Each structure stands twice: as C-alpha cells, then as structure tokens.
Amino acid sequence: MRVSRWSTLGWAAMIVGCASAAATNVRAPLGARLTPGAKTGAPVPLRSDPTARVILSSAPGLPPASYAPSQAARGEKVYVETCGQCHQPAQFVGQNFVESWNDRRVYDFYALVRGTMPLDNPGGLKEQEYIDVVAYLLKANNAAPGLDSLRADTTALRAHKIAVRAP
C-alpha cells in the first residue's frame, strides 16, 4: 500500500493550521466583542463595548495621504446627510481625532468607517462616498490637500498615513 504525502496526521495538522491561521486573522470591529457562543465558530452577533480600544500600529515613515478639495466637498455633503444624523462634527474634528489617528494608515480609518457605518446599514454607502468622507475628515483636521484624490485602492490607502493637526 502506498502512503500518500497527506497522511491522516498530515491532513489533521493542515486543518488545525488553517483553523488557527484563520482565527488569528479575524478582527472584530472597533469597540466590539464576541458573545460567549463565539467558540463554536458559527456567526455570532457582536455587541458594543465602549471601554474597548483598538491598538493600531503607527506609520510615521509613510507619505501623507492626498485628497482633492472637490473630493472633500463631496465628503462633507455625505457627512452632513448621512453621518451627521448620529455624529456631531466635533467627534471627528480636533484634538481627539488627531491623538487617535495622526500618523496611522489611511486604510485603517477607511476600513473602520466602511465596516461599521452607517450603524443601521454598515457598508451601505458607495465606495466613493466612504473615500469622500475620509477626505472631508482629513480636510476638517487640517491635512494638506494635494493634486491627487484618495482612491478606494487598498494598496494605495495602506501606503499613506493620516497627517493631521488640531485646529
């Protein structure tokens, strides 16, 4: 009898390896924790935890993100019509935003906003609307505009940092 390369032990190790790799790559949204039944692997609703904090790695060596003024203007309109229903502008403009997001990757903020907002329909806006809102918040926090617009390109978003300062 010929023993295949993937013996029973090999398959078991591969399955365990994949499961543990998948488990380490799963990230809960900001301020969320899995409910107690999450150990089964089945989809489980998340509940908000206002004391939870996400630690993001700093990216000071990256170039600052660039946005077009027209893009920020479109983002302001989306913010007022959609985000402004729940969020006051002061939540995302000023010292708190600067302390939380300055020198972080643009992608981290974009992914958080896209994955959690609007609360009643996360991911429900168009990609360009999310990018425009990020551009507006960069502008509102004194980030320098540029010639290029932000794009919904994860590689480009990961390669640039948020460079803001309090007004």
For residue range 16-28, list pLDDT tens digits in order.
344 434 444 444 4
pLDDT of residue 60: 81
**Is residue 41 pLDDT above 50, yes or no?**
no
Residue 161, SS3 per DSSP: strand
**Can you give the pLDDT at residue 51?**
52
Whole-structure pTM over 0.85, yes or no?
no
Per-residue confidence (pLDDT) for residue 128, from 0 to 100: 96
Query: What percent of the chain has a predicted confidence (pLDDT) above 70?
Result: 66
Residue 135 CB: number of other CB atoms within 10 A? Answer: 27
Q: Over the range 26-57, which residues count as b (16 or more CB within 10 Å of their CB) and which as e?
A: eeeebbeeeeeeeeeeeeeeeeeeeeeeeeee
Q: Which residues contact 104 (CB under 8 A, 6 or more apart)?
A: 56, 57, 58, 59, 161, 162
Determine how β-strand 46-48 pairs with β-strand 32-34. Answer: antiparallel
pLDDT at 155 over 70: yes
The answer on pLDDT for 57 being more than 80 is no
Mean pLDDT, rounded, for 96-102: 93
